[in-house]
Structure 1
Amino acid sequence: MYLQIFSISFFLISLVFLSSPFFSYSPLSLLKDVEVDAIIGPQKSSQSTFVIGLGDKANVPIISFSATSPSLHPQTHYFIQTAIIDSYQVGAIVAIVKYFQWSQVVLINEESDYGNGINPYLSNALYDANARVSYRSVIPLEASDDFMLQELYKMKTMQTRVFVVHMSSSIASKFFMKVKEAGMMREGYVWIITSALTDLLYSLDSRVIETMQGVLGVKPLIPSSRRLGSTAKRWKRKFIHDNPDSSQVEFGLYGIWAYDALWALAMAAERVQFREHISPSKNTSILNTTNMFAIEISKTGPKLREALSEVTFKGLGGKFHLVNGQLEPSSFQILNVVGKGEREVGVWTHSEGILSDRNADVTNSSSKRLKSVVFPGETTDIPKGWEVPVSGKKLRVGVPIVAGFEEFVKVEKDRQTNVTKVSGCYIDMFDAVMAELPYAMPHEYIPFETLDGLSAGSYDDLCHQVFLQKYDVAVGDITITSKRSNFVDFSLPFEAGGVTMTVLKNNPNNAWLFVKPLSLELWLTAMVLFFFTGVVLWILEHRFNSAFRGPPEEHVALIFYFPFMSLVYAQRERIVSNLARLVVVVWMLVVLVLNSTYTANLSARLTIKGLEPANTDVNALIRNGEYVGCRKGSFIYDFLQDQGFDKGKIKPYSSPEDIHKALSKGTKKGGISALFAVKPYAALFLSTYKNKYITKGITYPTEGFAYAFQKGSPIVTDVSRAVTKLTENHKFSQIQKKWLGNPESDAEDGAHDPSQISLTSFKALFAISGGVTATCLLVFIATYLYKNRDFVQRISNSSTSILSKARALFQHFDQRDPKSFRSSNYREDGANTAPSINENTRSSRVVPISTMNFNDANGDTSPTSEHATAPSHQTRSTDRIEIVTQA
């Protein structure tokens, strides 16, 4: 290798070339004997630390065109990197991962400063892109073939199939030969290499290139120019002249950066112009454990460093401008190894992201994609980025034994086959989460039970078993608590939390108490029957009873007035039709029962005090020494003690049936006064025992149900992401509806007063009343149609419209029936009196109906009714017919 040293005099740059296998010690003599003012080198990051320290002591700029490790720069102000450092290519690599929607990556790097330098930048960038590093493999520089194969087989047993390789070309050549041998360069695998290796693909043996088919790589984008082409040609001629036996000739990135570094140094020297002689330093520096050397301090070096930071020009690699001693980042090419070399499939820029080519129109959305990529296995199908691991190891899922509430988690064991079956709402939800992961996750359910099939402990004990690595994850109704978080890592909750108090139903007094005795269905049905009865009575009495005649508005008022007033007092209107009398008799029976029942129920609500529970909040329960209950094994047992309940006042229960019996008994009979449970269990309990219980008081906020993983589990983030997605797309809601129905809605639907009278109690009575009323209506209609069959026949045979026929039929029905109308007045004692004419007394008014002609089949015309008479011209419009009722 060559270390290039520059001594600056007025308009003169003298170059001193040094080649030595121990060059790390050579700069000492250059600084003391040659008195150099700048050093270009070293070429490797591993050689830089020692030289950078010397330059900092001597105030001599150290300019490197090939050391790309980002960890070198912060060490000193006198170290200048004219190469694009490795951390800048991270954006391009992550963009590829994000473009193909891969969520996990394996990092493989050589064990050196160069290999390790990119890892923190790449890991952080992948995390920001919602991807993660599932594994990191470090390959020693002197690794044997067996070590490489062993490491590759280890990675082959993992799920991730996306690998990012950051190595020098010398070790990468051997590594990819072993990748091919391990069978990991086939369909389904993805390999991405960093810029240093991508730029040196031309120098690799053809056998190595053959093993790297389908590999993706990135490297800085060098803009094409005539100057670059001309310089590359001259360099190749010179290189071939000096190395006639070499077959690999390429003016690569490092040659371009070295060329631009020389130009930058020359321009900086012109700005400095005069060189100041150095003076011996009074300080000493320890270079090794046995020798101390005096370091000469350069007076020109600081000026040269400042001049370099101000140099800006268009070099072979594009714009040359140093920012904080580093070359400005550029765009990156995305290359695909195909055939004997590589082809460009896209570019990446910091501002626009991925583009199809360097001249793409950024305003066109179609240009923001890669060209067709050939992946390993000579396929253009995009790999998933994961596969079922070869080892077949399954995720061990611990499941609690939930007695009583089997809708959530149910564990069954076939005693003959000894096969355990786990099912339930929360089990299906976990299966959905596993299916949503971007990689395969085989898993098996292992009940947390004793040898005799009983629960092996509390939920805290189950989480502790996860901590002891007996299980990989615990699944079920496991609430996130601070105590459990000390042993496990929780995912995001898949079910909302909150602790509620459930007590026996009560009858609260309020301003609407008067409507409480009857249920809503009963109120509505009674109102419909009221209206129906009024309409039928009007129909039955209209043609025969003067009390049911008059203007239309009086008809409507009477329809509503008659049935409703029967609730309060007897009617003044007399009924003359036998059918109507039957309807009224049945209706009065309904009114009597309904009125009596309503009155009795309302009285009970206003007078009975025992319907209101004595204890409706936690403080009252504690103060009165009431017993309370919770689910066995739940964290609520500790929660209630924190709220102030005595340990002896808390009774754990396993099944809903036991809880129901305890709540029904109450504290005085050996039961409990209230149940404390998380919201999902409380809702299921209320929906199971409708109309009996209700939640009281506030909901105590707690974390929800979540999956408990081992500390540091790599899949917690992916599981949380899957939980969020399934929650947003309502997949969880569908699973809950399948197993639980809609317990919260059912609880609300059933949350009516148990003492409230429902429609069921009056079904038979309403059916009798409605049936009798409807029967009377049908009999009347049939009788009317029979008596007026000739008129109906003429109307049906007429050629008028249906609307005209209906109007004529209604007008005929609206007339008095001369044969049946009771013209006499009725006393209350039943005596008859002759009708009297009184123009001053308000009575029903009869308006004669104009005759209407209808053509029959023979063309003859007939009056509208055989009983209709022509109106008298002498009749005044103010004449009234009045029936006077005498006492």
Structure 2
Amino acid sequence: MPLKIGIPKKNGFTEFVSSYKDPRTNKTHANGFSVDVFCAALTLLPLKVNPEFLPFENEDGESLGTYDDLLKNISVKYDAVVGDVTIMANRVSWADFALSYVDSSVYILSYTANLTAMLTIDQLRPYFNKEGNYSVGYQEGSFVKDFLIQQKNFSESRLRAYSTMTDYHKALSNGSVAAIYDELPYIKLFLRKYGSDYTVDGPILRTNGFGFAFPLDSFLVPLISRAITNVTDGGTMVEIEHKYFGKKQISEVEITRLPEKTPSLDYFNFIGLFIVTGSISLASLLCSEIWRSRRPVQNVPSAGEVNVNGNVPIIDNQVEQQPTTSNQCVENVPSTGEVNITGDVPIIENRVELQPTTSNQSVENVPSTGEVNVSRDVPIIDNQVEPNQRVQSMPSTGEVNVSGDVPVIENQDQLHLTTSN
């Protein structure tokens, strides 16, 4: 018995139904999950049936319309319609359906791999029920479009039709749509590929599943229904599922679903991060200030005043804490400015160190201008002072004030203290 079988022309989700034409024989071949289930049922009929599959397409290979358009032509062009056709109340006026072979309901798919979605995920349901500028998607040719317009009050201008899983992923991830409404079999197939980035909510509409359609009052309806029961209850159905969907199946209860109230993230959720970040920043600042306080002072200017009190020397334009006993000298004292030294402190190559109270030093090349005040037992020799030494090339102008056991010798005559060699 020949049967003309109409099948949908699909560009995506071809795991359910697809077709191709053999160029040598010009015969159309069909395959896919729905086609294999139908063919398995035909083998259980009490009569021999030879199906001829006819895609619902034009001469250019493009679809002639929606699933509803396909079903409306069933009594004119076809003996049956086979594919992922959902059993709907409005469709039973055009065709009779055999027993469902796949359960199906409508779900919402939302991309949740970004922080913004996490922050607003608990507002998902009311958000989609309000008027707004956002758009939502659906599978091209599906009854879901009418469902969104008639029952969800969406404006048609806000609806976007997509054909493939890749289209779904791109539209959701780049924000072209806020969500996609589709049936469970397609959602499960999509989640097997992109599940880690998506969340599913639903069902928002329960249907009677996928079924094979026949002209009204067709005698094949009860025969196919009984055959489908045997296919779905046996191992044949499992083999067909593994062939097209893989061995790991996602059940309805396993689908990630939004809870009734998903707590959103707010500032308090990040308080731990703020504390850690603040502590690290504060510790870094303290370490920086401590390092700066201990860092050598460089490039002391050649003119001006340097006041040194206590045991603090200036060494190679550096400031360091020195011991109280040393034999140091003064070199390159600036020609202008004042150097005031209190305590047992000499100036050495732009360095100041604390000196012992007894030493033998001399004064050479004291600058012609400025004042050097030396108190306690501190000499100036080569710009340094030591007891029992001579003073060479004293300037004609300027003043050297020496107090304590420090001699000043002019014209290379040596003046001795009461105790000296």
Scaled by the length of structure 2, what TM-score is found?
0.56
Query: Is 2:146 the partner of 1:638?
Result: yes
Once the two structures are TM-superposed, the CA of residue 625 in structure 1 deviates from its matched residue by 3.5
Once the two structures are TM-superposed, the CA of residue 474 in structure 1 deviates from its matched residue by 0.2
* Alignment check: 8 A CA contact 2:9 2:57 kept: yes
Q: Say which of 26, 39, 50 aligns to 1:418.
A: 26
Structure 1 unaligned runs (5+)? 1-392, 508-607, 753-887
Query: Is 2:327 the partner of 1:719?
Result: no
Q: Say which of 608, 612, 616 aligns to 2:119.
A: 612
* Alignment check: 8 A CA contact 2:136 2:158 kept: yes
Once the two structures are TM-superposed, the CA of residue 659 in structure 1 deviates from its matched residue by 1.2
Partner residue in 2 for 1:838: none
* Alignment check: 8 A CA contact 2:20 2:29 kept: yes
* Alignment check: 8 A CA contact 1:412 1:422 kept: yes
Once residues 71 and 129 of structure 2 are traced to their aligned partners in structure 1, the CA distance between those partners, rounded to angstroms, is 31
Task: Give the SS at the match of 2:48.
Answer: coil
Query: Is 2:78 the partner of 1:471?
Result: yes
Give CA-to-partner distance per residue, 1:8-34, whole Å, 9 cap, x none. Answer: xxxxxxxxxxxxxxxxxxxxxxxxxxx
* Alignment check: 8 A CA contact 1:626 1:649 kept: yes
Give CA-to-partner distance per residue, 1:50-86, whole Å, 9 cap, x none. Answer: xxxxxxxxxxxxxxxxxxxxxxxxxxxxxxxxxxxxx
Q: Say which of 133, 136, 145 aligns to 1:628.
A: 136
* Alignment check: 8 A CA contact 1:687 1:750 kept: no
Task: Give the SS at the match of 1:705.
Answer: coil
Task: Give the SS at the match of 2:43.
Answer: helix
Partner residue in 1 for 2:289: none
Quick check: which one's helix share is greater?
A: 1
Q: Say which of 648, 657, 662 aligns to 2:157.
A: 648
Matched ranges for 1:434-583 at <5 A? 434-468=42-76, 470-505=77-112
Partner residue in 2 for 1:164: none
Once the two structures are TM-superposed, the CA of residue 613 in structure 1 deviates from its matched residue by 3.9
Task: Give the SS at the match of 1:611.
Answer: helix
Task: Give the SS at the match of 1:431.
Answer: helix
Q: Which amino acid aligns with 1:397?
A: I
* Alignment check: 8 A CA contact 1:479 1:705 kept: yes
C-alpha change, 1:742 and 1:748, in structure 2 (3 Å) is: farther
Q: Which amino acid aligns with 2:62?
A: L
Shift >6 Å, 4+ stretches: 746-752
Query: Is 2:187 the partner of 1:682?
Result: yes
* Alignment check: 8 A CA contact 2:2 2:50 kept: yes
Once residues 238 and 181 of structure 2 are traced to their aligned partners in structure 1, the CA distance between those partners, rounded to angstroms, is 24
Amino-acid identity (%): 34
Once the two structures are TM-superposed, the CA of residue 687 in structure 1 deviates from its matched residue by 0.7
C-alpha change, 1:744 and 1:487, in structure 2 (3 Å) is: same
Once the two structures are TM-superposed, the CA of residue 500 in structure 1 deviates from its matched residue by 0.6
Partner residue in 2 for 1:691: 196
C-alpha change, 1:433 and 1:413, in structure 2 (3 Å) is: same
C-alpha change, 1:647 and 1:496, in structure 2 (3 Å) is: same
Give CA-to-partner distance per residue, 1:337-378, whole Å, 9 cap, x none. Answer: xxxxxxxxxxxxxxxxxxxxxxxxxxxxxxxxxxxxxxxxxx
* Alignment check: 8 A CA contact 1:410 1:422 kept: yes
Partner residue in 2 for 1:326: none
* Alignment check: 8 A CA contact 1:691 1:751 kept: no
How many corresponding residue pairs? 255
Query: Is 2:242 the partner of 1:741?
Result: no
Task: Give the SS at the match of 1:502.
Answer: strand
Q: Which amino acid aligns with 1:640?
A: L
Query: Is 2:168 the partner of 1:663?
Result: no
Give CA-to-partner distance per residue, 1:740-768, whole Å, 9 cap, x none. Answer: 1156439999969xxxxxxxxxxxxxxxx
Scaled by the length of structure 1, what TM-score is found?
0.27
C-alpha change, 1:734 and 1:440, in structure 2 (3 Å) is: same
C-alpha change, 1:714 and 1:406, in structure 2 (3 Å) is: same
Partner residue in 1 for 2:404: none
C-alpha change, 1:453 and 1:432, in structure 2 (3 Å) is: same
Q: Which amino acid aligns with 2:134?
A: E
C-alpha change, 1:505 and 1:706, in structure 2 (3 Å) is: same
C-alpha change, 1:664 and 1:702, in structure 2 (3 Å) is: same
Once residues 632 and 730 of structure 1 are traced to their aligned partners in structure 2, the CA distance between those partners, rounded to angstroms, is 32
* Alignment check: 8 A CA contact 2:105 2:203 kept: no
Once residues 84 and 46 of structure 2 are traced to their aligned partners in structure 1, the CA distance between those partners, rounded to angstroms, is 25
Q: Which amino acid aligns with 1:452?
A: D
Q: Which amino acid aligns with 1:403?
A: N
Give CA-to-partner distance per residue, 1:857-876, whole Å, 9 cap, x none. Answer: xxxxxxxxxxxxxxxxxxxx
Once the two structures are TM-superposed, the CA of residue 406 in structure 1 deviates from its matched residue by 1.2
* Alignment check: 8 A CA contact 1:686 1:747 kept: no
C-alpha change, 1:459 and 1:692, in structure 2 (3 Å) is: same
* Alignment check: 8 A CA contact 2:137 2:161 kept: yes
* Alignment check: 8 A CA contact 2:66 2:141 kept: yes
Once residues 53 and 2 of structure 2 are traced to their aligned partners in structure 1, the CA distance between those partners, rounded to angstroms, is 10
C-alpha change, 1:609 and 1:658, in structure 2 (3 Å) is: closer
Q: Say which of 673, 681, 698 aligns to 2:178.
A: 673
Task: Give the SS at the match of 1:612.
Answer: helix
* Alignment check: 8 A CA contact 1:402 1:410 kept: yes
Once residues 714 and 665 of structure 1 are traced to their aligned partners in structure 2, the CA distance between those partners, rounded to angstroms, is 50
* Alignment check: 8 A CA contact 2:200 2:255 kept: no
